[in-house]
Amino acid sequence: MAARGDKPIVNKSKGLRLGLVGATGAVGTVALEILNSRAHDWAEIVPIASARSAGKTLAVHDKQIAVQEISAEVFKGLDVAVFDVPDEVSAQWAPIATAQGVVVVDNSAAFRMNDQVPLVVPEVNAKEIANRPLGIIANPNCTTLSMIVVIGALHQRFTLQELVVASYQAASGAGQAGIDTLDEQIAQVAGKRLGRTAGDVRSAVGAQEIFPAPLAMNVIPWAGSLKEGDFTSEEHKVRNESRKILGLPDLKVAVTCVRVPVSTTHSLAVHAKFAKRITAQDARTILESAPGVKVVDDPVQMKFPTPIDVVGTDPTWVGRIRQSLDDDHALDFFVSGDNLRKGAALNAIQIAELVEVS
């Protein structure tokens, strides 16, 4: 399987005009890179951003194209628009775009749990793309996307019943500011013989703004904002989005989200229970032929996914596949996925490529 530039499952985009909203942001930049690496099926790609970036030129299939300022007018004549912007921007502008007849693929959380908006992962539930009464298709959270392609492939055969998940989320999940913070903290502690007390690292990295504790030389059992039951928003997203994507509204899901000192690529340790008996070899056989999955699983040779190998690639990598010691209907495994590619930009582009416009 190609690590980058994978062909779409079925490309419907030929002859359609695509708008890329948020083209100059962290995810938008990756989205444009992905678009430039894929088949030239779009009739036109229009980069769109805020007034601050309007007029800047970006390379789009070997041409320098000026970024257009977001406005109602800019959506006229477009067929599909991918939104890589904050929730509040999507909430404001997505309905304006759909009023112009544009199909919106939204990468924010603004519409994910709306009953009239499908939440789509093409390898799992592509058929839902056509079910869009509001003209909007939502892209899942990057943490969910880092595991759901693997889960979906196994669920199709063995019927998922329960999930217990611990995430290991990269600093980039908090945006460019998260990456910059981690880089700064690593520089601040590099080469220092720090002691074992909390004050040593805290004094070295200084005041915290992006994360609730130092991330360098540390892990933080917190990602997102505080929600009901003392869970975080990230933990709620993994639970609620998995249920919606898989069509399992009563799926039992237990999640703990942890931030780790990795720049880009989320990983998750997963315990999955199924209705049918499943072996590790069953899982390997299915996953080795599943679209969007790369199996790296050789315990004797100590081969398994790690973020530094996965970053910059498109598939979800999976390894450490084991049948549970206490339940022959359950598996334990480890997954990693680039949270800026499949976890955000790539999945949205894959959805856009499958949109059919009447």
Could you list the active site residues?
142, 266
Q: How far apart are CA 218 and CA 204, in angstroms?
A: 13
Are residues 235 and 257 in contact, defined by beta-carbon separation less than 8 angstroms? Answer: yes
Of 266, 264, 261, whose CA–CA distance to 185 is shortest?
A: 261
DSSP output for 6-17: PPPSS---TT-E
- Return left, alpha or beta for 342; rule: phi > 0 is left, psi -120 to 50 is alpha, else beta: alpha
Range 92-96, long-range pairs (CB < 8 A, 24+ positions): 93/21, 94/136, 95/134, 96/72
Counting every residue, how long is the chain? 358
Q: How far apart are CA 128 and CA 89, in angstroms?
A: 24
Q: How far apart are CA 123 and CA 145, in angstroms?
A: 11
